[in-house]
Protein backbone atom coordinates (compact mmCIF):
# COMPACT_ATOMS: atom_id res chain seq x y z
CA UNK A 1 0.00 0.00 0.00
CA UNK A 2 1.47 3.34 -1.00
CA UNK A 3 -0.27 5.06 1.89
CA UNK A 4 1.53 2.89 4.48
CA UNK A 5 4.87 3.52 2.80
CA UNK A 6 4.23 7.24 2.89
CA UNK A 7 3.29 7.09 6.57
CA UNK A 8 6.51 5.28 7.52
CA UNK A 9 8.56 7.63 5.32
CA UNK A 10 7.10 10.62 7.05
CA UNK A 11 7.97 9.32 10.48
CA UNK A 12 11.57 8.54 9.55
CA UNK A 13 12.35 11.67 7.53
CA UNK A 14 11.88 15.25 8.64
CA UNK A 15 8.69 16.70 7.08
CA UNK A 16 10.60 19.42 5.22
CA UNK A 17 12.49 16.85 3.18
CA UNK A 18 12.31 18.00 -0.44
CA UNK A 19 12.25 14.53 -1.98
CA UNK A 20 9.42 13.27 0.18
CA UNK A 21 7.43 16.41 -0.41
CA UNK A 22 7.81 16.25 -4.18
CA UNK A 23 6.95 12.54 -4.17
CA UNK A 24 3.78 13.27 -2.22
CA UNK A 25 2.92 16.12 -4.56
CA UNK A 26 3.33 13.80 -7.51
CA UNK A 27 1.13 11.15 -5.92
CA UNK A 28 -1.50 13.75 -5.19
CA UNK A 29 -1.34 14.96 -8.78
CA UNK A 30 -1.80 11.41 -10.07
CA UNK A 31 -4.73 10.76 -7.79
CA UNK A 32 -6.34 14.06 -8.77
CA UNK A 33 -5.87 13.24 -12.43
CA UNK A 34 -7.53 9.82 -12.11
CA UNK A 35 -10.31 11.27 -9.99
CA UNK A 36 -11.08 14.09 -12.41
CA UNK A 37 -10.67 12.23 -15.67
CA UNK A 38 -13.78 10.43 -16.87
CA UNK A 39 -12.98 6.74 -17.27
CA UNK A 40 -11.51 5.74 -20.61
CA UNK A 41 -14.10 3.03 -21.13
CA UNK A 42 -17.18 5.18 -21.59
CA UNK A 43 -15.94 7.06 -24.64
CA UNK A 44 -19.22 6.45 -26.40
CA UNK A 45 -21.84 9.09 -27.05
CA UNK A 46 -24.55 9.82 -24.58
CA UNK A 47 -27.99 11.32 -25.03
CA UNK A 48 -27.99 15.04 -25.52
CA UNK A 49 -27.51 17.00 -22.35
CA UNK A 50 -29.91 19.81 -21.62
CA UNK A 51 -29.13 23.24 -20.31
CA UNK A 52 -32.48 24.17 -18.87
CA UNK A 53 -36.16 23.90 -19.58
CA UNK A 54 -36.12 27.26 -21.33
CA UNK A 55 -33.37 26.31 -23.75
CA UNK A 56 -35.01 22.95 -24.26
CA UNK A 57 -38.35 24.47 -25.13
CA UNK A 58 -36.82 26.88 -27.58
CA UNK A 59 -34.80 24.11 -29.13
CA UNK A 60 -37.89 21.99 -29.75
CA UNK A 61 -39.82 24.82 -31.41
CA UNK A 62 -37.00 25.73 -33.78
CA UNK A 63 -36.48 22.08 -34.68
CA UNK A 64 -40.04 21.87 -35.96
CA UNK A 65 -39.88 25.19 -37.82
CA UNK A 66 -36.50 24.27 -39.29
CA UNK A 67 -37.89 21.10 -40.81
CA UNK A 68 -40.84 22.86 -42.41
CA UNK A 69 -38.63 25.66 -43.79
CA UNK A 70 -36.14 23.17 -45.25
CA UNK A 71 -38.98 21.27 -46.92
CA UNK A 72 -40.59 24.43 -48.29
CA UNK A 73 -37.32 25.78 -49.73
CA UNK A 74 -36.38 22.49 -51.38
CA UNK A 75 -39.90 22.02 -52.79
CA UNK A 76 -39.92 25.56 -54.17
CA UNK A 77 -36.50 25.16 -55.79
CA UNK A 78 -37.50 21.83 -57.35
CA UNK A 79 -40.64 23.46 -58.74
CA UNK A 80 -38.58 26.23 -60.28
CA UNK A 81 -36.10 23.86 -61.91
CA UNK A 82 -38.53 21.17 -63.02
CA UNK A 83 -41.60 23.32 -63.66
CA UNK A 84 -43.80 21.09 -61.55
CA UNK A 85 -45.58 23.92 -59.69
CA UNK A 86 -47.22 23.41 -57.23
CA UNK A 87 -46.61 19.71 -56.59
CA UNK A 88 -43.03 19.90 -55.39
CA UNK A 89 -43.94 22.50 -52.80
CA UNK A 90 -46.94 20.53 -51.56
CA UNK A 91 -45.08 17.25 -51.27
CA UNK A 92 -41.94 18.69 -49.71
CA UNK A 93 -43.73 20.88 -47.17
CA UNK A 94 -45.52 17.76 -45.97
CA UNK A 95 -42.26 15.79 -45.89
CA UNK A 96 -40.61 18.75 -44.18
CA UNK A 97 -43.30 18.75 -41.54
CA UNK A 98 -42.68 15.06 -40.94
CA UNK A 99 -38.94 15.77 -40.72
CA UNK A 100 -39.66 18.56 -38.25
CA UNK A 101 -41.72 16.26 -36.07
CA UNK A 102 -38.93 13.68 -36.26
CA UNK A 103 -36.42 16.38 -35.24
CA UNK A 104 -38.58 17.33 -32.27
CA UNK A 105 -38.96 13.73 -31.17
CA UNK A 106 -35.21 13.18 -31.45
CA UNK A 107 -34.43 16.38 -29.58
CA UNK A 108 -36.88 15.40 -26.85
CA UNK A 109 -35.35 11.95 -26.66
CA UNK A 110 -38.59 10.18 -27.59
CA UNK A 111 -37.34 8.75 -30.88
CA UNK A 112 -34.13 6.84 -31.31
CA UNK A 113 -31.13 8.79 -32.57
CA UNK A 114 -30.04 7.75 -36.01
CA UNK A 115 -26.99 5.51 -36.03
CA UNK A 116 -24.94 3.80 -38.67
CA UNK A 117 -24.72 0.01 -38.47
CA UNK A 118 -27.57 -0.65 -36.13
Residues near other proteins (CB under 8 A) are 38, 40, 42-46, 48-49, 51-52, 54-55, 58-59, 62-63, 65-67, 69-71, 74, 92, 95-96, 98-100, 102-103, 106, 114-118
- Nearest one of 91, 64, 62 to 79, comparing CA atoms: 91
9 vs 66, beta carbon nearer other proteins: 66
In the complex, the smallest distance separating the C-beta of residue 109 from other proteins, rounded to whole angstroms, is 12
Can you tell me the distance from the alpha carbon of 118 to that of 106, in angstroms, rounded to the nearest whole number? 16
In the complex, the smallest distance separating the C-beta of residue 36 from other proteins, rounded to whole angstroms, is 9
Residues shown for the chain: 118
Amino acid sequence: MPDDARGKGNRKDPPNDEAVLSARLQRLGERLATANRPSENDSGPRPSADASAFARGFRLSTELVGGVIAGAVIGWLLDRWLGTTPWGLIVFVLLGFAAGVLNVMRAAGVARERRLND
